[in-house]
Amino acid sequence: MIAFSWDQRIARAEKLAQEQPGGAEILRFYAALARFQKGVYERLKAYTGSPDAAALTPDFLEFLRLIQRTGPPVIAEEARTLEGGNASWEEVLTGDPMYFFARALLQPYMECLVSRNSIPSSQTEARRCPYCGEEPQAGVLRGEGDGAKRSLLCSMCSSEWQFRRLLCPACGEEGNDRLPVYTAAQFQHVRVEACDTCHAYIKSIDLTKNGLAVPCVDEIATVPLDLCAAENGYKKLKSNLLGM
C-alpha cells in the first residue's frame, strides 16, 4: 500500500518550509525533488509493460541539472562533477555508490513497479519491506479503537505494511522496558522509538495527533529529534532520502 501521493508530499514540504524557517532550505529542495520524481513516475506509469531501470536513462541529465540548481552545496557539487565527467546512469547505479543520486531516481521507479504489480502482503512483522526488501524509513501511527496501530514506511518504494508497536524493527526486541519512546514539545506528533538492546531508533509520525502530516516529509522536517537521539547513543535504522 502506498498511502501518500506525490502531490501530498510536495504540498506538505512547501507548507512546512513556510512554517519552519530553520528547515526551509532543505524542505524546498525536497519539494523540488519530489516534483521531479512525480514526473518520472508518471512517465514510467505510461509504459505498457513493466519498465526496467534502464528506462531512467533519459531522466538522468535533467536530474543532475536540477540538483545543481536546487540542492545543498555538497550534493550540487557532486552533481556538477558527475555531469562534467559524463557519468552515465548505469555507472551511478552500479558503481561505488553515489547513494543519494541512485536512490532518488530509483524511488519513483520502485513505486511504479509496486503500484503496477499490486503485490499483496500478509507479513505484519516483516522487518524489511515485503514489497521491495528495503529497510523502513519511519513508522506511521493511525487510530484504531481506543489506541493506534503502527505500520512501517519503506525507505525506497514508499509502501506501508503493518507492524506491532512493541517490537523493534531493527533487532526484534519486544520487551517494553527495552523500547523507550522520546518526544519533544515542538513536534508533538512525531516520536523517537528507540531500542536499548541494539541502540537503533526509528521516528514514528502519529496521524491521530496531526492528520495533515505526510510521514516521509515530517520525518525529514524533524532533524532536532535525530540530533537528540544521537546524543543519547542511538543510531537511525535507515537514513531518509536526503541522507539524514
Q: Rounded mean pLDDT of 179-203?
A: 96
Question: What pLDDT is stored for residue 96 in this prediction?
Answer: 60
Tell me the pLDDT band of 119, cut-offs 50, 70 and 90.
low
Q: Where are the beta strands (DSSP E) in 43-176?
A: 136-144, 147-154, 160-162
Average pLDDT score, the chain: 91
Q: Rounded mean pLDDT of 189-214?
A: 97
Q: Rounded mean pLDDT of 189-213?
A: 97
Distance between CA 62 and CA 55 in Å, rounded?
Answer: 14
Q: Does 63 score more than 90 pLDDT?
A: yes
Distance between CA 90 and CA 11 in Å, rounded?
Answer: 32
What's the burial of 227, exposed, middle or buried (CB within 10 Å: 0-12/13-18/19+)? exposed
Q: Does 55 score more than 70 pLDDT?
A: yes
Q: What are phi and psi of 138, to 5 degrees?
A: -155, 165
Q: Does 168 score more than 60 pLDDT?
A: yes
Q: Rounded mean pLDDT of 76-95?
A: 90
pTM (predicted TM-score): 0.92
Q: Does 48 score more than 70 pLDDT?
A: yes
Q: Rounded mean pLDDT of 144-162?
A: 88
Question: What pLDDT is stored for residue 167 in this prediction?
Answer: 95
Q: Does 118 score more than 70 pLDDT?
A: no
